[in-house]
Amino acid sequence: MISLCVQFPLIQTSLVGYVTQKLSKELQHPTSVGRVSIKWFNAVSLEKVEIRDRKGRPMIQVERLDVNHDFLELAIGKDKKTFGTWLDEATLYRPSVWLVKNPKTGDLNLDEFIARIEELTANPNSPGVKDQNVPFYIKQVHLIEGTFRFDDPREQRMSGKAFDYNHFTLKGISGEAKNFMILGDTIALKVRGLHTYDKRTNLTVKGLNSNVMYCRTKLELADLYAPIGNSIIRNYISFNYEKPSAFGDFNAKVLMKAHIDSSRVRSEDLGWFADYLFTLNETWKVHGDFLGTVHDFKLTNTDLRFGKNSRLRGKIAFKGVTEFATSLLDFDMVETRVDAADLYQYYPEKSFNDLAKKFGVVDFSGKYKGTIDRFNMSGDFKTAMGQINVRALEMNLAAPVPTYVADMKTQGFDLGKLVEDDAFSQLDLDGKISGKGFDIKNAGLRLDGKMPKFAYNGYVYKNVYLNGTLQNKLFKGSVIVRDTNLIADVDGTFNFNKERYSYHAEGFVQRADLRALKFMKDSLLIHTELNVDLEGNTMDEMVGKAKFLNNYATFKNRNLVVDTLLVDSRLEDKNRDLDIRSEFFNFKANGRFEPTKAVVDLARLFDEYQMYFLGDEAAQIAYYENKQLKKPIGERYSVAYDLKFKKMDRLLAFLFPEGYVSNGSRVEGVFTVDNTSMFSMTGQLDTLKIGNNSFYHTELDLNTSKFTNTPQVLASAIIRSDQQKLVGIAPTENMQIEAAWNEDHIAFRSNLRQQKLPNRATLNGELRFVGDYMSLQFKKSKLRLLEEDWNLDATNLITISGSEVLLSNVNLKADKKDQLISLNGKMSTNASEELAFETHNFELATLNPVLNVNLGGVANGSLTMRDVYRTLIFDSQLQIKKLTYNNFLMGNLMGDGEWDPVDKHLHVDIHLDKNEKREFTVTGTYTPDRTDNELDLTAEFNETNLNLIEPFARGLVSNITGKAVGKVSVKGAALSPVLDGTVDVKKGRLTFDYLKAVLSFEDKVYFGE
């Protein structure tokens, strides 16, 4: 009957009203239900369920609550303290929980509600006894579209979109829970597939699974799988606190314990809790044990991966991670790897990252303590730059100019890569380093240590000791070197307080072998005392004076003493005066220019001119294409120079013994760089000697103009010399050479005449640059010798392509006589190519005014040459009729040379005939491949008239008569032959011209080693 009555709405409403009125009174929290539907006392649907806190605010609301329970027992049970211990199932549709802090106590409104439940469910028979609460269970709970709201009225709402710990709302809460239990202040349940999102940040939980336990001092999530945003947190975490109000200061008052396994955290998810992390694009893969608060925690057994190639292992501790830029880090790492590329987003300062990239992937074990920009560190590091053992490193990246102090040791460290200079390479260093800045141009570095190995310019220095400061490649302090090839002591000081640094250095270089140190290809030893006072931050800014005293140098077994070398550089309103003085020369330069740039540009200009003569058009095109891609042409500059020669004898004897320039000679000119590079030189040289060639009263006028970024050239040169003494020819005069270079061709004219004689030479022509080769053609060129004109064939052409030289119609013909000299063929690395020299009816007397000799006779013959670049191979035939020397008739000379390709030697057959009698013969072989034994010849004297010697001994002896008979072998090297044999002299007689004494002799002459 009762069951039937309860099915009627009027009775249901009355019954629920009775129950809610009773609950409100017992719970001391207003409770109401808008509508109820009870089915046979085991299924109840409640709509518009609401529990308000003691301030009358809606604390818990449920739009509809469906439960299974024995409500009859609840309604009429005699023992009110044991009501509702078990529910089979509950479904909450659109539940809403609003937790609010008490402004005075900081307690949550829910704390009061839970405390009242704990009081009501306590065993009435054992008041005050612990653990005497009656548990309340729900076997299955369904949450649908729930809301959770938290507010702390003591705190203002945060601006922006960051997660507001004090005011937040979780929306769309849906999921399943099993074995829901309330026991006193403890709530336990198994959550499966929980979804929700934060209203402010839209950060989403995408199906959380966990065994949850909550009480007044702890929230535990065991067997955790939490996909939050793009992150996944796994395994176990608990939140420990003194009371629930601690969540109001979560970062500082909630202690977390966690075992993190195979978790992945994205920076954009953590960014809602720490703004700095939004600047990153990072995924942290984490394994380890966590203990601490958000503000102060430790990770042990850590395996943290980040970036593309970085992995931290060991112990990690953070303090203040919510302000990551200033958080304190304490790492103790083992077998760790950090890729410099992965650090960029954490510290994007360019100079730091440029430096870090050079170290590449770093494997290390060590300790790190401090913030990300101010820390102490120690450890062993293997990097792309070499191995580094850091005993202690203190670094401050937060300063306007970063600073660092290190006690370290390096092995195989690539210094060249660090300072961006290929001249430097590996460095071993053991010492202390301190400095500021990472930009190589602005960094300051102090060193105090030893360099057991220091590689520079391809040479490995040993035993270098440093104590000083290095900045912008300039050093302050002392350098001591005790290397085999360099012994030096230098002290220097900088003043960094000035806008322009000042530098003073004094030192002593006892010995420096520049060839061994690989500064020169030739041997040069130097010794000097230096004293310099300079100002400037770079070499091009340097002004001041430098003095080098008591200089001594040794070069190719030649010695030079230089008493004093002075350098004076001044700069005023960007206009520079450079003055270099010594006892050998004075050099001055003036203009708006930078010395090092001018030297580099001038050397580059000469290299660009040289490209025309190298015969590689593709390389030249590629060079200018690459040059145009580089930085644009800088500011225009110009430098005027003046070089005055003094007593150059000792300097030239030391550097270039074949040369000589007279005292008082002078050259000057201007070098200008803009869109066009221009170079000029004028000079007056009283006496100039190059080898055995001498030029007197010489004037030089050179002007060149070339587009800086393209190959087009305009140039002219004029050389005049009053008198000359050229090796092998008689003295000449009035030499004049003019040349004009217009882009792809050089036209030239030249004149030369013999002193006091009408003999002269005129050579005109044109040199053309065509693709990968050059062509040279002489035009309107001739020689005048002994009143006879010799003309060069108008069709002559010389073509040069690399090492290949082709000569065509290079023929010199006499106007009035049938005489010819010709040179035709090819000089090549191909041994089959031939170059032929021929003479036809050539009168040797023609050479007398040129060579300043007295020859006679008519020459006919040919000489064919091959393989001229390696082992010269030649065949020859020569005939000179009526050969005379100093008007003495020697006879007819015949000579043949024939190459044997099998045995690779030249067969030689030379003989001299006179009055139909063979006077002298040389036969045998010449084998060029046998460098120490090239000659295998035999000279045979066949009653040779001794008067053949007379023309060569004129002025000493005369009236030579007698005969010579015998054989002499000639062996060994061509430059140092070995003679062996005997010559029998018969009826010898001669007159000594000075004494007028006559000597008669008859004896044997022996030749041997």
Say yes or no to pLDDT of 331 above 50: yes
> 255 near 239, Cβ under 8 Å?
yes
Classify residue 9 as exposed, middle or buried by CB count within 10 Å of its CB (0-12, 13-18, 19+). Answer: exposed
pLDDT tens for 49-73 read 899 988 889 999 999 999 876 655 5
Count other C-beta atoms under 10 Å from residue 414's C-beta: 19
Q: What's the rounded mean pLDDT across residues 720-743? A: 88
What's the pLDDT at 76? 53
pLDDT in tens, 803-833: 889 999 999 998 888 889 999 999 988 888 8
Q: Is the pLDDT of residue 1008 over 80?
A: no
212 pLDDT higher than 80: yes
Q: Indicate if the pLDDT at residue 553 is higher than 60.
A: yes
What is the reported pLDDT for 313? 92
Rounded CA separation 352/421 (Å) = 18
pLDDT at 929 over 90: no
pLDDT, average across residues 909-928: 89
**Average predicted confidence (pLDDT) for the chain:** 85
User: What phi and psi, each to the nearest 5 degrees, are found at residue 392?
Assistant: -160, 135
Q: Report d(CA 33, CA 24) in Å as an integer.
A: 11
Please state at what angle helix 109-120 crosses helix 9-27, rounded to 10 degrees. 100
Interatomic CA distance for residues 187 and 181, integer angstroms: 6
Find where tokens 């008041």 sit: 127
Contact 374, 403 (CB under 8 A): no
d(CA 493, CA 770): 57
Amino acid at 632: P
pLDDT band at 498 (very low <50, low <70, confident <90, very high): low
- Residue 69 is predicted with a pLDDT of 67
Query: What is the pLDDT at residue 130?
Result: 54
pLDDT at 184 over 90: no
Band the pLDDT of 496: cuts 50, 70, 90: low
pLDDT digits (tens, 9 = 90+) for 39-53: 766 778 888 989 998
Assigned token pair, 142: 């369904």
Q: Is the pLDDT of residue 390 over 50?
A: yes
Q: Distance between CA 638 and CA 602 in Å, rounded?
A: 12
Residue 54, pLDDT score: 87
Only one residue has tokens 């739009």, namely: 63
Show contacts of 376-381: CB within 8 Å, 24+ apart: 379/333
- Report the pLDDT value the prediction gives residue 41, as an integer from 0 to 100: 62
Q: Would you say residue 81 has pLDDT above 50?
A: no
Query: Residue 518 is encoded by which pair of tokens?
Result: 């690989």
Residue 737 CA to residue 467 CA, distance in Å, equals 59
504 close to 473: Cβ distance less than 8 angstroms: no
The phi and psi torsions of 250 (rounded to 5 degrees) equal -55, -45
Q: What confidence score (pLDDT) does residue 83 get? A: 43
| HSE-CB of 840 using CA atoms within 13 angstroms | 11
Q: What is the pTM of this model?
A: 0.52
Q: 967 φ, ψ to 5°?
A: -130, 140
CA atoms within 13 Å, Cβ hemisphere of 946 = 22
- Where does the pLDDT of residue 279 fall: very low under 50, low under 70, confident under 90, or very high at 90 and above? confident
Cα–chain-centroid distance for residue 507?
Answer: 31
Q: What per-residue confidence (pLDDT) applies to 2?
A: 47
* Average pLDDT value for residue range 257-281: 89
Q: Indicate if the alpha-carbon torsion angle 264, 268, 273, 279 is positive or negative.
A: positive
pLDDT at 947: 80
Residue type, 918: R
Question: Residue 15 has what pLDDT?
Answer: 64
N-to-C CA span, the chain: 154
pLDDT at 160: 77
% pLDDT > 70, the chain: 92
* pLDDT given for residue 510 in this prediction: 92
Instruction: Give the mean model confidence (pLDDT) for residues 160-174.
Output: 88
**Residues 107/115, Cβ–Cβ less than 8 Å:** no
* Distance in angstroms (rounded) separating the CA atoms of residues 917 and 920: 9
Three-state SS letters, 501-534: CEEEEEEEEEEEECCCCCCCCCCEEEEEEEEEEE
Look at residue 82 in the predicted model and tell me its pLDDT.
Answer: 44
**pLDDT given at position 80:** 46
| pLDDT value at residue 363 | 93
Query: Mean pLDDT across the stretch 729-735?
Result: 86
Summarize the confidence of residues 514-535 as an average pLDDT: 86
pLDDT at residue 77, rounded to an integer? 52
Task: Give the β-pairing of 204-215 and 666-673.
Answer: unpaired
Q: What is the pLDDT of residue 650?
A: 86
| DSSP string for 214-276 | EETTEEEEEEEEEEETTEEEEEEEEEE-SSGGGGGGHHHH-EEEEEEEEEEEEHHHHTTT-GG
Reported as a pLDDT band with limits 50, 70 and 90, residue 1004 is confident
Residue among 414, 421, 427, 328 at smallest CA distance from 376? 328
Residue 569: how many other CB atoms lie within 10 Å: 20
pLDDT at 237 over 50: yes
What would the pLDDT profile of 834-872 be if each residue is shown by its tens digit?
Answer: 999 999 999 888 888 777 778 899 999 999 988 888 777
3-state secondary structure of 168: strand
**pLDDT tens digits, one per residue of 583-614:** 999 999 999 988 888 888 898 888 888 887 77
pLDDT in the model for residue 871: 74
How does pLDDT run across 959-968, given as a tens digit for each residue? 888 888 989 8
